[in-house]
Structure 1
Protein backbone atom coordinates (compact mmCIF):
# COMPACT_ATOMS: atom_id res chain seq x y z
CA UNK A 1 0.00 0.00 0.00
CA UNK A 2 1.25 3.48 -0.89
CA UNK A 3 -1.53 5.40 0.78
CA UNK A 4 -0.02 8.50 2.37
CA UNK A 5 -1.62 11.11 4.59
CA UNK A 6 -0.32 14.66 4.79
CA UNK A 7 -1.56 17.26 7.27
CA UNK A 8 -0.93 20.72 5.85
CA UNK A 9 -2.31 22.97 8.57
CA UNK A 10 -0.27 22.41 11.73
CA UNK A 11 -1.79 23.56 15.02
CA UNK A 12 -4.64 25.39 13.33
CA UNK A 13 -5.77 22.14 11.64
CA UNK A 14 -5.79 20.48 15.08
CA UNK A 15 -8.32 22.98 16.39
CA UNK A 16 -10.89 22.50 13.63
CA UNK A 17 -11.99 19.51 11.64
CA UNK A 18 -9.98 19.79 8.41
CA UNK A 19 -11.21 19.17 4.93
CA UNK A 20 -9.97 15.88 3.54
CA UNK A 21 -8.78 15.59 -0.04
CA UNK A 22 -7.80 12.34 -1.74
CA UNK A 23 -5.26 12.52 -4.59
CA UNK A 24 -5.12 9.38 -6.74
CA UNK A 25 -2.30 8.96 -9.27
CA UNK A 26 0.12 6.11 -9.92
CA UNK A 27 3.06 8.45 -10.61
CA UNK A 28 4.51 9.50 -7.23
CA UNK A 29 5.94 12.82 -8.39
CA UNK A 30 2.71 13.84 -10.13
CA UNK A 31 0.64 12.71 -7.14
CA UNK A 32 2.86 14.56 -4.69
CA UNK A 33 2.78 17.67 -6.87
CA UNK A 34 -1.01 17.73 -6.84
CA UNK A 35 -1.02 17.09 -3.09
CA UNK A 36 1.29 20.07 -2.53
CA UNK A 37 -0.86 22.27 -4.78
CA UNK A 38 -4.04 21.33 -2.92
CA UNK A 39 -2.21 22.05 0.33
CA UNK A 40 -1.33 25.52 -0.93
CA UNK A 41 -4.96 26.18 -1.86
CA UNK A 42 -6.34 24.75 1.40
CA UNK A 43 -3.58 25.07 4.02
CA UNK A 44 -5.66 23.45 6.76
CA UNK A 45 -6.57 20.41 4.68
CA UNK A 46 -5.61 16.82 5.28
CA UNK A 47 -4.26 15.39 2.03
CA UNK A 48 -4.47 11.63 1.49
CA UNK A 49 -2.52 10.09 -1.39
CA UNK A 50 -3.23 6.79 -3.14
CA UNK A 51 -1.24 5.19 -5.95
CA UNK A 52 -3.86 2.87 -7.44
CA UNK A 53 -7.58 2.29 -7.83
CA UNK A 54 -7.45 -0.45 -5.20
CA UNK A 55 -5.87 1.90 -2.68
CA UNK A 56 -8.29 4.69 -3.58
CA UNK A 57 -11.31 2.43 -3.07
CA UNK A 58 -9.90 1.35 0.29
CA UNK A 59 -9.59 4.98 1.36
CA UNK A 60 -13.14 5.74 0.16
CA UNK A 61 -14.46 2.85 2.24
CA UNK A 62 -12.47 3.81 5.33
CA UNK A 63 -12.67 7.62 5.28
CA UNK A 64 -16.34 8.54 5.23
CA UNK A 65 -15.94 12.30 5.40
CA UNK A 66 -13.85 12.98 2.29
CA UNK A 67 -14.29 16.48 0.90
CA UNK A 68 -13.12 15.96 -2.69
CA UNK A 69 -11.13 13.50 -4.80
CA UNK A 70 -8.63 14.19 -7.58
CA UNK A 71 -8.56 11.06 -9.72
CA UNK A 72 -6.14 10.09 -12.50
CA UNK A 73 -8.04 8.74 -15.50
CA UNK A 74 -5.24 6.35 -16.48
CA UNK A 75 -4.19 4.29 -13.48
CA UNK A 76 -1.92 1.29 -14.02
CA UNK A 77 -4.32 -1.12 -12.31
CA UNK A 78 -7.50 0.13 -14.00
CA UNK A 79 -7.51 2.24 -17.14
CA UNK A 80 -10.03 4.88 -18.10
CA UNK A 81 -13.76 4.77 -17.79
CA UNK A 82 -14.22 1.57 -15.79
CA UNK A 83 -11.98 2.78 -12.98
CA UNK A 84 -13.69 6.17 -12.93
CA UNK A 85 -17.13 4.57 -12.79
CA UNK A 86 -16.12 2.38 -9.86
CA UNK A 87 -14.63 5.31 -7.99
CA UNK A 88 -17.66 7.55 -8.52
CA UNK A 89 -19.95 4.78 -7.28
CA UNK A 90 -17.77 4.21 -4.20
CA UNK A 91 -17.76 7.90 -3.29
CA UNK A 92 -21.56 8.12 -3.15
CA UNK A 93 -21.81 11.82 -3.86
CA UNK A 94 -18.37 13.10 -2.83
CA UNK A 95 -17.24 15.39 -5.66
CA UNK A 96 -14.54 13.98 -7.93
CA UNK A 97 -12.31 15.87 -10.35
CA UNK A 98 -10.55 13.89 -13.07
CA UNK A 99 -6.86 14.72 -13.61
CA UNK A 100 -5.47 13.60 -16.95
CA UNK A 101 -2.86 14.20 -19.60
CA UNK A 102 -5.46 13.61 -22.32
CA UNK A 103 -7.32 16.56 -23.83
CA UNK A 104 -9.52 14.34 -25.98
CA UNK A 105 -13.07 15.70 -26.09
CA UNK A 106 -14.56 12.21 -25.70
CA UNK A 107 -12.59 11.65 -22.49
CA UNK A 108 -13.78 14.95 -21.08
CA UNK A 109 -17.43 14.50 -22.03
CA UNK A 110 -17.58 10.88 -20.86
CA UNK A 111 -15.93 11.71 -17.54
CA UNK A 112 -18.57 14.32 -16.76
CA UNK A 113 -21.37 12.04 -17.93
CA UNK A 114 -20.15 9.38 -15.51
CA UNK A 115 -20.32 11.76 -12.59
CA UNK A 116 -17.04 13.69 -12.45
CA UNK A 117 -17.47 17.31 -11.37
CA UNK A 118 -14.71 18.45 -13.65
CA UNK A 119 -11.69 17.55 -15.75
CA UNK A 120 -8.26 19.05 -15.12
CA UNK A 121 -5.38 18.72 -17.55
CA UNK A 122 -2.08 17.86 -15.88
CA UNK A 123 -0.54 20.84 -17.66
CA UNK A 124 -2.92 23.23 -15.87
CA UNK A 125 -1.79 25.91 -13.44
CA UNK A 126 -2.49 25.99 -9.70
CA UNK A 127 -4.96 28.80 -10.40
CA UNK A 128 -6.96 26.51 -12.69
CA UNK A 129 -6.87 23.76 -10.06
CA UNK A 130 -8.10 26.18 -7.41
CA UNK A 131 -10.95 27.35 -9.64
CA UNK A 132 -11.96 23.77 -10.48
CA UNK A 133 -11.99 22.76 -6.81
CA UNK A 134 -14.01 25.83 -5.90
CA UNK A 135 -16.64 25.04 -8.53
CA UNK A 136 -16.83 21.37 -7.55
CA UNK A 137 -17.32 22.20 -3.88
CA UNK A 138 -20.30 24.40 -4.77
CA UNK A 139 -21.89 21.73 -6.97
CA UNK A 140 -20.82 23.16 -10.32
CA UNK A 141 -18.73 21.52 -13.02
CA UNK A 142 -15.38 22.63 -14.42
CA UNK A 143 -14.38 21.83 -18.01
CA UNK A 144 -11.02 22.66 -19.60
CA UNK A 145 -10.22 23.93 -23.07
CA UNK A 146 -8.86 20.85 -24.85
CA UNK A 147 -6.17 21.53 -27.43
CA UNK A 148 -8.01 19.29 -29.87
CA UNK A 149 -10.94 21.69 -29.77
CA UNK A 150 -8.84 24.83 -29.98
CA UNK A 151 -6.92 23.49 -32.98
CA UNK A 152 -10.10 22.35 -34.71
CA UNK A 153 -9.21 18.64 -34.56
CA UNK A 154 -12.71 17.51 -33.65
CA UNK A 155 -14.33 14.56 -35.37
CA UNK A 156 -16.43 15.68 -38.31
CA UNK A 157 -19.45 13.69 -37.19
CA UNK A 158 -19.58 15.51 -33.82
CA UNK A 159 -18.52 19.01 -34.84
CA UNK A 160 -20.85 21.78 -35.91
CA UNK A 161 -19.74 25.14 -37.30
CA UNK A 162 -19.18 27.70 -34.57
CA UNK A 163 -21.40 30.19 -36.36
CA UNK A 164 -24.42 27.92 -36.07
CA UNK A 165 -24.26 28.39 -32.30
CA UNK A 166 -23.08 31.98 -31.97
CA UNK A 167 -25.46 33.25 -34.64
CA UNK A 168 -28.35 32.19 -32.41
CA UNK A 169 -27.21 34.47 -29.60
CA UNK A 170 -27.44 38.21 -29.04
CA UNK A 171 -24.23 40.16 -28.46
CA UNK A 172 -24.76 40.16 -24.68
CA UNK A 173 -25.63 36.45 -24.68
CA UNK A 174 -22.35 35.77 -26.51
CA UNK A 175 -20.48 37.61 -23.75
CA UNK A 176 -22.23 35.51 -21.10
CA UNK A 177 -21.70 32.35 -23.15
CA UNK A 178 -17.92 32.85 -23.36
CA UNK A 179 -17.61 33.51 -19.62
CA UNK A 180 -19.86 30.56 -18.83
CA UNK A 181 -17.59 28.28 -20.88
CA UNK A 182 -14.58 29.58 -18.95
CA UNK A 183 -16.21 28.14 -15.81
CA UNK A 184 -17.33 31.39 -14.17
CA UNK A 185 -20.29 31.41 -11.80
CA UNK A 186 -23.28 33.69 -12.40
CA UNK A 187 -21.97 36.06 -9.72
CA UNK A 188 -18.55 36.24 -11.39
CA UNK A 189 -20.12 36.83 -14.81
CA UNK A 190 -22.26 39.62 -13.37
CA UNK A 191 -19.19 41.28 -11.85
CA UNK A 192 -17.21 40.91 -15.08
CA UNK A 193 -19.97 42.42 -17.24
CA UNK A 194 -21.17 45.00 -14.72
CA UNK A 195 -24.75 43.72 -14.59
CA UNK A 196 -27.03 42.23 -11.95
CA UNK A 197 -26.75 38.52 -11.17
CA UNK A 198 -30.46 38.15 -11.96
CA UNK A 199 -29.80 39.52 -15.44
CA UNK A 200 -27.10 36.91 -15.97
CA UNK A 201 -29.51 34.15 -14.91
CA UNK A 202 -31.99 35.35 -17.54
CA UNK A 203 -29.28 35.28 -20.22
CA UNK A 204 -28.10 31.80 -19.15
CA UNK A 205 -31.66 30.44 -19.37
CA UNK A 206 -32.09 32.01 -22.80
CA UNK A 207 -28.79 30.50 -24.00
CA UNK A 208 -29.83 27.04 -22.80
CA UNK A 209 -33.19 27.35 -24.53
CA UNK A 210 -31.60 28.42 -27.81
CA UNK A 211 -29.08 25.56 -27.69
CA UNK A 212 -31.69 23.01 -26.64
CA UNK A 213 -29.89 21.97 -23.45
CA UNK A 214 -30.88 21.74 -19.77
CA UNK A 215 -27.75 22.64 -17.79
CA UNK A 216 -24.34 24.31 -17.91
CA UNK A 217 -22.52 21.03 -18.50
CA UNK A 218 -24.57 20.36 -21.63
CA UNK A 219 -23.81 23.88 -22.85
CA UNK A 220 -20.10 23.08 -22.51
CA UNK A 221 -20.49 19.75 -24.31
CA UNK A 222 -22.25 21.43 -27.25
CA UNK A 223 -19.56 24.12 -27.30
CA UNK A 224 -16.76 21.55 -27.25
CA UNK A 225 -18.21 19.70 -30.19
CA UNK A 226 -18.71 22.94 -32.10
CA UNK A 227 -15.21 24.24 -31.38
CA UNK A 228 -16.27 27.53 -29.84
CA UNK A 229 -14.49 27.59 -26.47
CA UNK A 230 -12.88 30.88 -25.40
CA UNK A 231 -9.14 31.20 -25.90
CA UNK A 232 -8.25 30.98 -22.21
CA UNK A 233 -9.58 29.33 -19.09
Structure 2
Protein backbone atom coordinates (compact mmCIF):
# COMPACT_ATOMS: atom_id res chain seq x y z
CA UNK A 1 0.00 0.00 0.00
CA UNK A 2 2.23 2.78 -1.28
CA UNK A 3 1.26 6.29 -0.24
CA UNK A 4 4.24 8.29 -1.50
CA UNK A 5 4.92 7.17 -5.06
CA UNK A 6 6.47 10.18 -6.78
CA UNK A 7 4.07 12.00 -9.10
CA UNK A 8 4.89 15.05 -11.17
CA UNK A 9 2.92 18.16 -10.17
CA UNK A 10 0.22 19.27 -12.57
CA UNK A 11 1.38 22.05 -14.86
CA UNK A 12 -1.44 24.31 -13.67
CA UNK A 13 -4.23 24.49 -11.12
CA UNK A 14 -7.10 26.96 -11.52
CA UNK A 15 -8.09 27.21 -7.86
CA UNK A 16 -7.29 25.66 -4.50
CA UNK A 17 -9.53 25.83 -1.44
CA UNK A 18 -7.97 26.09 2.03
CA UNK A 19 -10.30 25.31 4.96
CA UNK A 20 -8.65 26.30 8.25
CA UNK A 21 -9.87 28.67 10.95
CA UNK A 22 -6.41 29.87 12.07
CA UNK A 23 -5.46 32.86 9.87
CA UNK A 24 -1.69 32.50 10.28
CA UNK A 25 -1.69 28.81 9.42
CA UNK A 26 -4.19 29.33 6.61
CA UNK A 27 -1.91 32.00 5.14
CA UNK A 28 1.06 29.62 5.44
CA UNK A 29 -0.88 26.97 3.53
CA UNK A 30 -1.82 29.54 0.89
CA UNK A 31 1.84 30.51 0.56
CA UNK A 32 2.90 26.89 0.07
CA UNK A 33 0.20 26.42 -2.56
CA UNK A 34 1.42 29.51 -4.43
CA UNK A 35 4.92 28.05 -4.56
CA UNK A 36 3.65 24.82 -6.12
CA UNK A 37 0.95 26.40 -8.30
CA UNK A 38 1.91 30.07 -8.87
CA UNK A 39 -1.10 30.78 -11.09
CA UNK A 40 -3.73 29.19 -8.86
CA UNK A 41 -6.40 31.25 -7.15
CA UNK A 42 -6.28 30.39 -3.44
CA UNK A 43 -9.64 30.63 -1.68
CA UNK A 44 -9.55 30.60 2.14
CA UNK A 45 -12.43 29.56 4.39
CA UNK A 46 -12.62 29.34 8.17
CA UNK A 47 -15.56 26.99 8.72
CA UNK A 48 -17.42 24.09 7.16
CA UNK A 49 -20.58 26.16 6.82
CA UNK A 50 -18.78 28.90 4.89
CA UNK A 51 -17.08 26.28 2.72
CA UNK A 52 -20.35 24.60 1.79
CA UNK A 53 -21.89 28.00 1.05
CA UNK A 54 -19.05 28.82 -1.35
CA UNK A 55 -19.42 25.47 -3.08
CA UNK A 56 -23.17 26.01 -3.43
CA UNK A 57 -22.41 29.42 -4.96
CA UNK A 58 -20.38 27.79 -7.73
CA UNK A 59 -16.82 27.45 -6.43
CA UNK A 60 -15.14 24.47 -8.13
CA UNK A 61 -11.65 23.95 -6.68
CA UNK A 62 -9.11 21.61 -8.21
CA UNK A 63 -7.72 20.73 -4.79
CA UNK A 64 -8.81 21.19 -1.16
CA UNK A 65 -6.70 21.41 2.00
CA UNK A 66 -8.97 20.67 4.97
CA UNK A 67 -8.36 21.00 8.72
CA UNK A 68 -10.35 18.45 10.72
CA UNK A 69 -10.87 20.80 13.68
CA UNK A 70 -13.10 23.74 12.74
CA UNK A 71 -15.38 26.02 14.81
CA UNK A 72 -18.54 24.29 13.58
CA UNK A 73 -17.29 20.71 13.28
CA UNK A 74 -14.52 18.48 14.64
CA UNK A 75 -13.85 15.00 13.38
CA UNK A 76 -14.28 12.84 10.36
CA UNK A 77 -17.94 13.76 9.82
CA UNK A 78 -16.96 17.23 8.60
CA UNK A 79 -14.70 15.74 5.96
CA UNK A 80 -17.41 13.29 4.88
CA UNK A 81 -19.89 16.15 4.44
CA UNK A 82 -17.36 18.07 2.37
CA UNK A 83 -16.37 15.08 0.24
CA UNK A 84 -20.00 14.42 -0.66
CA UNK A 85 -20.25 17.95 -2.10
CA UNK A 86 -16.91 17.82 -3.91
CA UNK A 87 -17.32 14.64 -5.92
CA UNK A 88 -13.91 13.59 -7.18
CA UNK A 89 -11.94 16.68 -6.11
CA UNK A 90 -8.88 15.51 -4.12
CA UNK A 91 -8.76 16.50 -0.45
CA UNK A 92 -5.53 16.73 1.57
CA UNK A 93 -6.34 16.51 5.28
CA UNK A 94 -4.32 18.73 7.64
CA UNK A 95 -4.54 17.92 11.35
CA UNK A 96 -2.68 18.22 14.64
CA UNK A 97 -3.75 14.66 15.47
CA UNK A 98 -1.42 12.05 13.97
CA UNK A 99 -3.11 8.70 14.55
CA UNK A 100 -2.78 5.73 12.21
CA UNK A 101 -6.34 4.71 13.09
CA UNK A 102 -7.68 8.13 12.12
CA UNK A 103 -5.65 8.26 8.91
CA UNK A 104 -6.87 4.80 7.95
CA UNK A 105 -10.49 5.88 8.44
CA UNK A 106 -9.96 9.09 6.45
CA UNK A 107 -8.34 7.29 3.53
CA UNK A 108 -11.13 4.72 3.59
CA UNK A 109 -13.65 7.58 3.38
CA UNK A 110 -11.92 9.00 0.31
CA UNK A 111 -9.21 11.40 1.49
CA UNK A 112 -6.36 11.72 -1.01
CA UNK A 113 -3.76 12.46 1.63
CA UNK A 114 -2.97 13.33 5.22
CA UNK A 115 -0.37 15.66 6.72
CA UNK A 116 0.22 16.55 10.40
CA UNK A 117 0.41 20.26 11.19
CA UNK A 118 3.99 19.95 12.44
CA UNK A 119 5.21 18.86 8.98
CA UNK A 120 8.01 20.91 7.42
CA UNK A 121 7.36 23.45 4.67
CA UNK A 122 9.18 21.18 2.23
CA UNK A 123 6.99 18.20 3.09
CA UNK A 124 3.88 20.38 2.86
CA UNK A 125 4.79 21.45 -0.68
CA UNK A 126 5.56 17.83 -1.60
CA UNK A 127 2.17 16.69 -0.31
CA UNK A 128 0.35 19.47 -2.18
CA UNK A 129 2.10 18.57 -5.44
CA UNK A 130 1.50 14.86 -4.92
CA UNK A 131 -2.20 15.11 -4.15
CA UNK A 132 -2.79 17.86 -6.70
CA UNK A 133 -1.36 15.60 -9.39
CA UNK A 134 -3.80 12.83 -8.56
CA UNK A 135 -1.57 10.86 -6.21
CA UNK A 136 -1.88 10.03 -2.53
CA UNK A 137 0.28 11.22 0.32
CA UNK A 138 0.87 10.08 3.89
CA UNK A 139 4.08 10.85 5.87
CA UNK A 140 6.61 7.98 5.93
CA UNK A 141 6.15 7.20 9.63
CA UNK A 142 2.38 6.90 9.31
CA UNK A 143 2.65 5.07 5.98
CA UNK A 144 4.75 2.40 7.70
CA UNK A 145 2.18 2.03 10.47
CA UNK A 146 -0.61 1.73 7.93
CA UNK A 147 1.37 -0.84 5.95
CA UNK A 148 2.08 -2.89 9.06
CA UNK A 149 -1.59 -2.99 10.05
CA UNK A 150 -3.10 -3.09 6.56
CA UNK A 151 -4.47 -6.60 7.04
CA UNK A 152 -5.41 -6.12 10.69
CA UNK A 153 -8.90 -4.73 10.19
CA UNK A 154 -10.98 -4.31 13.30
CA UNK A 155 -14.19 -6.23 13.88
CA UNK A 156 -16.10 -3.06 12.94
CA UNK A 157 -14.19 -2.76 9.65
CA UNK A 158 -14.98 -6.35 8.76
CA UNK A 159 -18.62 -5.99 9.73
CA UNK A 160 -19.09 -2.76 7.78
CA UNK A 161 -17.29 -4.24 4.79
CA UNK A 162 -20.08 -6.80 4.51
CA UNK A 163 -22.66 -4.04 4.06
CA UNK A 164 -23.60 -2.19 0.90
CA UNK A 165 -22.66 1.54 0.75
CA UNK A 166 -26.26 2.53 1.52
CA UNK A 167 -26.40 0.11 4.45
CA UNK A 168 -23.12 1.53 5.77
CA UNK A 169 -24.62 5.03 5.76
CA UNK A 170 -27.68 3.78 7.60
CA UNK A 171 -25.53 1.87 10.11
CA UNK A 172 -23.52 5.02 10.91
CA UNK A 173 -26.75 6.94 11.53
CA UNK A 174 -28.05 4.12 13.73
CA UNK A 175 -24.82 4.34 15.75
CA UNK A 176 -25.45 8.08 16.06
CA UNK A 177 -28.82 7.33 17.67
CA UNK A 178 -31.01 8.33 14.74
CA UNK A 179 -34.56 6.97 14.47
CA UNK A 180 -35.83 5.45 11.22
CA UNK A 181 -37.77 8.59 10.34
CA UNK A 182 -34.66 10.77 10.84
CA UNK A 183 -32.55 8.39 8.75
CA UNK A 184 -35.14 8.46 5.98
CA UNK A 185 -35.11 12.27 6.01
CA UNK A 186 -31.30 12.61 6.02
CA UNK A 187 -30.82 10.10 3.20
CA UNK A 188 -33.89 11.19 1.21
CA UNK A 189 -35.41 7.71 1.38
CA UNK A 190 -38.86 6.38 2.15
CA UNK A 191 -39.14 5.09 5.71
CA UNK A 192 -40.19 1.69 4.36
CA UNK A 193 -36.98 1.57 2.32
CA UNK A 194 -34.93 2.35 5.42
CA UNK A 195 -36.66 -0.46 7.31
CA UNK A 196 -35.89 -2.88 4.47
CA UNK A 197 -32.21 -1.86 4.51
CA UNK A 198 -32.07 -2.30 8.28
CA UNK A 199 -33.56 -5.80 8.06
CA UNK A 200 -30.95 -6.72 5.45
CA UNK A 201 -28.01 -5.28 7.40
CA UNK A 202 -29.10 -7.00 10.62
CA UNK A 203 -29.05 -10.31 8.76
CA UNK A 204 -25.57 -9.58 7.38
CA UNK A 205 -24.24 -8.64 10.80
CA UNK A 206 -25.87 -11.65 12.45
CA UNK A 207 -27.72 -9.65 15.10
CA UNK A 208 -31.40 -9.49 16.07
CA UNK A 209 -32.05 -5.76 16.32
CA UNK A 210 -30.59 -2.31 15.65
CA UNK A 211 -29.49 -1.89 19.27
CA UNK A 212 -27.34 -5.01 19.09
CA UNK A 213 -25.91 -3.79 15.77
CA UNK A 214 -24.99 -0.38 17.22
CA UNK A 215 -23.41 -1.95 20.31
CA UNK A 216 -21.41 -4.34 18.13
CA UNK A 217 -20.02 -1.58 15.90
CA UNK A 218 -19.39 0.98 18.67
CA UNK A 219 -17.65 -1.55 20.94
CA UNK A 220 -15.42 -2.71 18.11
CA UNK A 221 -14.53 0.88 17.23
CA UNK A 222 -13.68 1.64 20.84
CA UNK A 223 -11.41 -1.40 21.05
CA UNK A 224 -9.80 -0.54 17.73
CA UNK A 225 -8.46 2.79 19.00
CA UNK A 226 -7.33 3.29 22.57
CA UNK A 227 -6.76 7.03 22.16
CA UNK A 228 -9.82 8.99 23.39
CA UNK A 229 -9.15 11.95 21.09
CA UNK A 230 -8.87 9.66 18.09
CA UNK A 231 -12.15 7.98 19.03
CA UNK A 232 -13.77 11.41 19.29
CA UNK A 233 -12.58 12.29 15.80
CA UNK A 234 -13.70 8.96 14.36
CA UNK A 235 -17.15 9.34 15.86
CA UNK A 236 -17.36 13.12 15.36
TM range (shorter): 0.5 to 0.7
TM-score scaled to structure 2, two decimals?
Answer: 0.53
Give the 3 Å change call, closer, same or farther, for CA 87–113 of structure 1 in structure 2. Answer: same
Deviations 1:21-77 (A, max 9, x none): 000011111111111111122211110000000011122222443110000011121
- Measure the CA separation in 2 of the matches of 1:63 and 1:144: 33
TM-superposed deviation, 1:126: 2.4
Give me the whole-angstrom Cα distance separating, in 1, the residues matched to 2:22 and 2:132: 25
Cα shift at 1:81 = 0.8
SS in structure 2 at match of 1:60: helix
Aligned partner of 1:47 among 28, 42, 46: 42
> What's 1:20 paired with?
15
Matches within 5 A, 1:200-211: none
1:100 and 2:65 are equivalent in the alignment: no
Bigger helix fraction = 2
Aligned to 2:60: 65
Note the C-alpha offset of 1:123. Answer: 1.2
* Residues 22 and 48 in structure 1, CA contact (< 8 A), matched pair in contact too: yes
Helix, strand or coil: the match of 2:64? Answer: strand
| Unpaired runs of at least 5, structure 1 | 1-16, 160-233
1:38 aligns with 2:54: no
Moved over 6 A (4+): 147-150
Q: Provide, for residues 195-228 of structure 1, a one-character-per-residue CA deviation record: whole Å limited to 9, x for no partner.
A: xxxxxxxxxxxxxxxxxxxxxxxxxxxxxxxxxx
SS in 1 for 2:16: strand
Is 1:116–2:129 an aligned residue pair?
Answer: no
Structure 2: stretches of 5+ with no match in the other structure:
1-11, 154-236
For residues 36 and 121 of structure 2, the distance between their equivalents in structure 1, rounded to whole angstroms, comes to 8
Cα RMSD, aligned residues only: 2.6
Decide whether the 8 Å contact of 2:47 with 2:72 is kept in 1: yes
Question: How far apart, in 2, do the equivalents of 1:48 and 1:138 lie?
Answer: 19
- CA-to-partner distance for each residue in 1:65-104, whole Å, 9 max, x for gaps? 3110000011121111110100111111111100011111
Could you tell me the TM-score, scaled by structure 1's length? 0.54
- Shift of the 50–64 alpha-carbon distance from structure 1 to 2, 3 Å rule, reads closer
Q: Any conservation in 1 of the 2:15–2:60 contact (CA below 8 Å)?
A: yes
